[in-house]
Amino acid sequence: MKHKRILFASRNVHKYKEVASLLEPLDIEILFGPDIASLEVEETGRSYAENSLLKALQWSRSTGMVCMADDSGLEVKSLGWWPGKYSARIGESDNDRNSLILDKLSSEKDRTCRYVASFALYDPFSRETWLTMGLCWGNIGRQPAGKNGFGYDPIFVPSGYDKTFGELGKDIKELLSHRSVAVKLLIGMLSQISVIK
């Protein structure tokens, strides 16, 4: 890539570590947003894509760097695909949010859900933007299990498995997750137009 440094436009260190690991095979340094600037972006977009683009653009304008951002969430079918883009805002902590979902599903048989992630990459030098989206389907478990991952991972059982992401660990999550799908699509797009090798 012409630019060997990309700023990950997020204050979420868990997301940063996950994305940096996914991009590790590339010869690109992924920087953690708060190490470079102090910025809070209001997520006013109507979709994951709009929110990820808002964050990438605002961090890039603030720092002058190539910026990558994501917006992601959990969608539960029997709850009308809620909480969606509000996933991080329905409780004070991961435990609170997981407990709320489990409580709402206590009498539900259909526990179908999906993780959704949208990634935006903005290059202020070429003024080009790339957007991708990744999905990971699964079911909500009956109780939290496992200490790996973050967010809803202790209650999210990916399709084809009988354990949560919290139990399955990093390698399986990086193979299946919504962020993994979105990042791999982004790498593919950039490779096709020779932005990266």
Residue type for position 197? K
Beta carbons within 8 Å of 70's beta carbon, 6+ residues apart: 10, 15, 19, 52, 117, 118, 119, 120, 179, 182
Residue type for position 171? D
Residue 162's pLDDT is 97
Residue 81's pLDDT is 98
CATH number of 5-192: 3.90.950.10
The C-alpha atoms of residue 141 and residue 131 are separated, in whole angstroms, by 31
Residue 55 Cα distances to 69, 106, 113, 135, 180, angstroms? 6, 35, 26, 20, 19
The catalytic residues are 71
Residue 169's pLDDT is 87
Query: If residue 188 lies in a helix (H) or strand (E), which one and from where to where?
Result: helix 178-192
Residue 194's pLDDT is 53
Residue 188's pLDDT is 87
- pLDDT by 10s per residue, the chain, length 197: 466 899 999 999 999 999 999 998 888 899 999 999 999 999 999 999 999 999 999 999 999 999 999 999 999 999 999 999 999 999 999 999 999 999 999 999 999 999 999 999 999 999 999 999 999 999 999 999 999 999 999 999 999 999 999 999 889 999 999 999 999 999 888 877 555 44
Within a 10 A sphere around the Cβ of 90, how many other Cβ atoms? 14
The C-alpha atoms of residue 110 and residue 38 are separated, in whole angstroms, by 42
Residue 197's pLDDT is 46
